Structure 1
Amino acid sequence: MRKLHAKSRLGCKVCKVRRVKCDETRPSCKRCSQTGRTCSFLADVPVLPPSIPSPPNSSSTESVPSATPSVVLEPLPNVRGPGSAHYKPAHSSLEERYGSLHLRLLYLFEHQPSEHMRLTHPGLDDLLQMMIKEAFRTPYVMDQVLAYSAALESVRDQNDREAQKLYAIEATRLQTRALTLYNNANPQASADTCLPMFIFTSLLAHHTLFDVLSDSKKDLGAVINGLARSIPVHRGLMAVAAACWSMFSPELQKQFLQTCLREPLDINITSDDECDSLKTRLKNSDLSVSSITIHLEAVELLQGLFDNERNAASLKQGNLAPLQDWLVGVSPEFVSCIQQRRPESLIILAFYGVMLHRASDYWFVGDLGKRLIHLINGQLGPAWEDWLAWPNGMVEYNKEAGEYA
């Protein structure tokens, strides 16, 4: 006879069906984790709020812009692991209390950032203290801080797949909750809110790139969908950051700028022709005039960012801004071409992969650049290898072996 147990109304559904006692550990109870079952707690994620349509453009010259701009961000529908972001829980997880896992994540965020970032970014410790202080004041910042920490932990220990899975799921859950809190609060940029808003958008920008990195482990379609999904988010983040930046004191601006600088990139600062051959090939291609224009605009933007990267290297400076600037700057028409997998569009994306590759020492970028270029080579095949010669050379891609040196 099976041993009776005390009933738990808050236990997971799997344990209830199995008629065993649930310890109610989240995001996955111990019984389910130990037996390899998918705990129903993993699906306990807030419903994504509906997207808010942009107001129609007005040509009226009498309209007065708001002195306190507000940008509503839409959660990314990227859930790494079992469970659905569209599952409707019986209770609102926004009311959940923080547990021991979250205390651990907060400790790790403060004391164990990636070794690379601590070594290359002066003043990081002071910035972390500022972020934690704002996290205790602002709930959506706290959840994004914890989500960021969980995402980092999901890639830290490569030998513990179960822990990686748990942290990845919790990172997605916390990110979704942070975005929901932000959207519900609908903060207006002001002297009181600009700092937490800026911290939130900065962390979320990194986290969004990490989501694309996770997609890159699947296939090219997943990466393209992830990038396309991230572009409007990056645009919203940059709009918030720009609105808040002007409200910072010169001292605070200086602190952020010093922390964002990194060690100079080891690149050839005399070269200024990364995209010259690509522009020539596009001009001589069979694309329509309008399509050539769309593609050349994306290439010109990319070349300008390569130029800025070299200038920063010559000044012994560097930062991550170019990665976001290109995503924000490309036109919707070009994004549509990428989604259609037009060969010329994918090749431009491979050139952008070189820029990602140069930031591979950041944990949330990792080998995304290499993976992206590899997937594009596999999609296009030998017929386009001349077009891909430069990005392949930059990441030492061996086309015969189909791998990297």
Structure 2
Amino acid sequence: MFGQYTLETSPGDSSYRVPKLNHKKSRYGCQRCRTRRVKCNEAKPTCQHCERHRAKCIYDRLPQKRTSQDRSPGSSSHPQPSESGISETSSDKTSPLSSVDPLDEDVLESKQRRLLEARLMHLYLTETGRSIPIDEKTFDVFANLAPKMALESEALLYAIYALAAIHALICKKDDSFDGLQVHRRYLSMALHEHQREITEISEDNFEAVSLTSHLLRICMFATLRYRNREPYTPPLEWILITGTTQALLAKSWGIILAHPESFVAGLTRSTPILYDTHARYDPANRQGLEYILERDAKDVVSEPWDAEIQDAYETTLSYIGGVLLLLHPKDGNIQLDEARRRMIIFPMVVKKKFLDLTRQECPRALVILAYYFSILVIENLWWVGDVGKQEVQDISKHLPAKWQKMLEWPLRVVERGAILPISQEGQALSGNNLLVGNGEE
């Protein structure tokens, strides 16, 4: 809908892109709207978007079997197919990224919109902002600093509205509005403004841009529960927008170093795994998970494999293994907060090649993804919920029988709601384990 933006670099990897949002196609819209991939209202002589931007409006496609006077755009009783091949009606029910044009007339200023935004900001100030942090280190940032910084950043302001709306829906905080519809609208508007602010990142706005990126990641994760998993596909929109934060970090790294007093610098210092590649990818961390890398004769013939692919699998397993070591340390000193922090930033720190393999639905990549989602039982945040359990179970249903043995541990974990020790064969062992509930606030 807004196209895609690509940041220049990411630590140790190539760039990430924000996912495109589906929109309702306009077959006979003007040339500029089709190029921008936004819905054209086909008004003559100038459509609403060209008029708003004072741009030249060119209609170079003629309608067939009807004219613009016969029927208004989108008046057909048959739903138009979206880019994903799912009808507009179906997509609205299952995808968090429905078609919302931030320049549509009903999104513009009105009394109803002002009242809704006041309601959303009140919810964020009193409940949502306080419910986001995974530890005390970030409480003030989300509860107090974010609303203040939003006064100078439309992207951050819209992200706050989007997050408050989905919070109201999931936790039944306010039923006076359609939470999912409102969330989708402000999410689209936030992404639109975020794209612009990233291109203009500077010492004046880098904190707001970073905070917006974080809230958007939470929004994407919160809406995973509403996505269509029939047939199963990886949650690519979440992976891509989360991975974009890594590229954003690289783009603003010089500014962060120049401002050690900023909250972004403080959060970076408190999360050394972001820049410590040895700790992140230490081969010793994946001991006990090597069976996931085993390949039989059939795999050797048919499975895509080279040094880069092997490295992508190994380093991702090392990262996951590092989290498990925090939860089952030899000295018994469980570091739950650090484990939770590492789970949240997972798509930011794994290598892009692994994300590519996941996007291609390679079975081994999906198995590893299932291990990640299973460990989310340690989270009790409302925006995480039981998404991990849903993803693990659907990955298991999707993969052929030969991969099921590797999935025994993730399946046991999500059923028990506990992190269990792993045998060398990938089976869950009985004995001491960390029981962590997965509830919603």
2-structure distance, mates of 1:111, 1:250? 27
Structure 2, unmatched stretches of 5+, are 10-14, 24-90, 273-283, 328-332, 418-441
2-structure distance, mates of 1:292, 1:146? 45
Q: How does 1:264-279 map to 2 (within 5 A)?
A: 273-279=287-293
SS of 2:294's equivalent in the other structure is helix
Q: Cα distance, 1:320 vs. partner?
A: 3.0
Q: Cα distance, 1:204 vs. partner?
A: 0.9
Paired position in structure 1 for 2:105: 91
1-structure distance, mates of 2:153, 2:102? 25
Q: Render the CA deviation track for 1:204-259: whole Å, top value 9, x for unaligned.
A: 111122233321xx3254552xx223333223222223415334324635754699
Compare 148-157 and 241-250 and name the one that shifted more: 241-250
Q: How does 1:46-85 map to 2 (within 5 A)?
A: 48-52=1-5, 73=18, 76-77=21-22, 80-81=92-93, 85=99
Is the CA contact 1:154–1:165 (under 8 Å) kept in the aligned structure 2? no
SS of 1:99's equivalent in the other structure is helix
Q: Return the letter of the residue paired with 2:346.
A: D
RMSD of aligned residue pairs (Cα, Å): 4.1
1-structure distance, mates of 2:160, 2:258? 22
Q: How does 1:348-363 map to 2 (within 5 A)?
A: 348-359=368-379, 361-363=380-382
SS of 2:263's equivalent in the other structure is helix
Structure 1, unmatched stretches of 5+, are 1-47, 58-69, 262-269, 399-405
Paired position in structure 2 for 1:20: none
Q: Return the letter of the residue paired with 2:124.
A: F
1-structure distance, mates of 2:236, 2:133? 31
Paired position in structure 2 for 1:146: 161
> Given the alignment, which residue of 276, 281, 294 partners 1:280?
294
1:206 corresponds to 2:159 = no
SS of 1:366's equivalent in the other structure is coil
Identity %: 17
Distance 1:127 1:380, change over 3 A: closer
2-structure distance, mates of 1:239, 1:353? 23
1:329 corresponds to 2:282 = no
Q: How does 1:1-400 map to 2 (within 5 A)?
A: 48-52=1-5, 73=18, 76-77=21-22, 80-81=92-93, 85=99, 91=105, 93=107, 95=109, 98-113=113-128, 117=132, 120-122=135-137, 124-125=139-140, 127-157=142-172, 163=175, 166-215=178-227, 218-219=228-229, 221=231, 223-224=233-234, 227-242=235-250, 243=252, 245-250=256-261, 252-253=263-264, 256=267, 273-281=287-295, 285-288=299-302, 290-291=304-305, 293=307, 295-310=309-324, 314=333, 316=335, 317-318=337-338, 319-326=340-347, 329-332=350-353, 334-335=354-355, 337-359=357-379, 361-380=380-399, 382-396=401-415
Q: Return the letter of the residue paired with 1:181.
A: E
2-structure distance, mates of 1:184, 1:146? 18
TM-score (norm 2): 0.60
Q: Render the CA deviation track for 1:131-166: whole Å, top value 9, x for unaligned.
A: 1110112111111111111111110029x8xx3981
Paired position in structure 2 for 1:36: none
2-structure distance, mates of 1:134, 1:288? 52
